[in-house]
Amino acid sequence: MPEDIIIVGAGGFGRETIDVVRAINATATEPVWNVLGVVDDGPSPVHGARLAALGIPHLGDIEELRSHVASARYVIGIGSPSVRAQLSERIDSWGGRAATLIHPAAVVGSEVRIGEGSVVCGGAQISTNIVLGRHVHINPGAIVGHDCRLEDYVSINPGAVISGDVRVDSGTLIGAGAVILQLLEVGPGALVAASACVTKNVPAGATVRGVPAR
Ligand SMILES: CC(C)(COP(=O)(O)OP(=O)(O)OC[C@H]1O[C@@H](n2cnc3c(N)ncnc32)[C@H](O)[C@@H]1OP(=O)(O)O)[C@@H](O)C(=O)NCCC(=O)NCCS
């Protein structure tokens, strides 16, 4: 029997998450998940139309999830780390149970631990001896090198490269195509701009950009 799941967020990553669920079902011997729909406090008309084109209903506001937590799992398909942190705390206070989704076309190595609520997209590569916290997003084509530790609510955007033995602290966003060199630490709540090359540790809450990133 497939398990019911509700996606939080009708935006781009929410709909990509639906595709991750569909790919998991398509490659399993029998469906793993039954998508009940999406909750979102007010999808824009364009997001609403794109959701409808996928044949997935908008169930209502996020509050609607409260009445489903006993029977359905949830996953947050929203790219902002801080929004994910706030929402997961709220949903977990209702007794919410997060699902962990790994696209069958992701490459996941040995000794990898992936926390609840995390989403690993197709084409992502996660090397060996890695720990991902809760509600971590690994976008398409991102690479996470050996021995990395990514804490809760980290977002690794498409095509970013996290070299070996890097620590990415809680709530940090690594922009599309950015490169983090080996053995560095990116502090909590930091933002690494798209295409940046990080060559030194990044302090908590800092935004860095450029090559080398400053
Ligand atoms: C760095 C970033 C956070 C800046 O956002 P912002 O504060 O809204 O910045 P603005 O767009 O107002 O631009 C401010 C300045 O930074 C520059 N800038 C923006 N992004 C930059 C980047 N990635 N690298 C270098 N410079 C950048 C702009 O050109 C502008 O320069 P100017 O003042 O000389 O004209 C953002 O551009 C970014 O890279 N975010 C990551 C996005 C990402 O990964 N997207 C993929 C989603 S799937």
For 56-69, the pLDDT digits (tens) are 999 999 999 999 99
Please report whether residue 36 resides in a domain: yes
Residue 179: pLDDT band by 50, 70, 90 thresholds?
very high
Residues 155 and 75 placed together within one structural domain of the fold: no
Task: Answer yes or no: 146 catalytic.
Answer: yes
For 188-209, the pLDDT digits (tens) are 999 999 999 999 999 999 999 9
What is the rounded CA–CA span in Å between residue 105 and residue 21? 12
Residue 211: pLDDT band by 50, 70, 90 thresholds?
very high
- State residue 38's pLDDT score: 98
Query: Is 209 a pocket residue for ligand 1 (Cβ < 6 Å)?
Result: yes
Residues 88 and 114 placed together within one structural domain of the fold: no
Residues 92 and 108 placed together within one structural domain of the fold: no
Residues 111 and 78 placed together within one structural domain of the fold: no
Residues 120 and 65 placed together within one structural domain of the fold: no
Structural domain that includes position 73? 3-99
Please report whether residue 156 resides in a domain: yes
- State residue 84's pLDDT score: 98
- State residue 167's pLDDT score: 98
Residue 117 region by backbone torsions, left for phi larger than 0, else alpha for psi between -120 and 50, else beta? left
Ligand 1 centroid to residue 151 C-alpha, Å: 24
Query: Is 191 a pocket residue for ligand 1 (Cβ < 6 Å)?
Result: yes
For 12-39, the pLDDT digits (tens) are 999 999 999 999 999 999 999 999 999 9
Query: Is 12 a pocket residue for ligand 1 (Cβ < 6 Å)?
Result: no
Please report whether residue 40 resides in a domain: yes
Residues 77 and 165 placed together within one structural domain of the fold: no
Concatenated DSSP letters of the chain: -PEEEEEE--SHHHHHHHHHHHHHHHHSSS--EEEEEEE-S---HHHHHHHHHTT--EEESGGGGGGGTTT-EEEE----HHHHHHHHHHHHHTT--B--EE-TTSEE-SSEEE-TT-EE-TT-EE-SSEEE-TT-EE-TT-EE-TT-EE-TT-EE-TT-EE-TT-EE-TT-EE-TT-EE-TT-EE-TT-EEPTT-EE-S-B-TT-EE-TTTT-
Mean pLDDT of the chain: 98
Number of folded domains in the chain? 2
Binding residue per annotation — 95?
A: no
| End residue of a domain, out of 83, 99, 115 | 99
Residues 69 and 39 placed together within one structural domain of the fold: yes
What is the rounded CA–CA span in Å between residue 158 and residue 149? 18
Mean pLDDT score, 161-165: 98
| End residue of a domain, out of 49, 81, 99 | 99
| End residue of a domain, out of 66, 83, 99 | 99
Please report whether residue 213 resides in a domain: no
Residue 173: pLDDT band by 50, 70, 90 thresholds?
very high
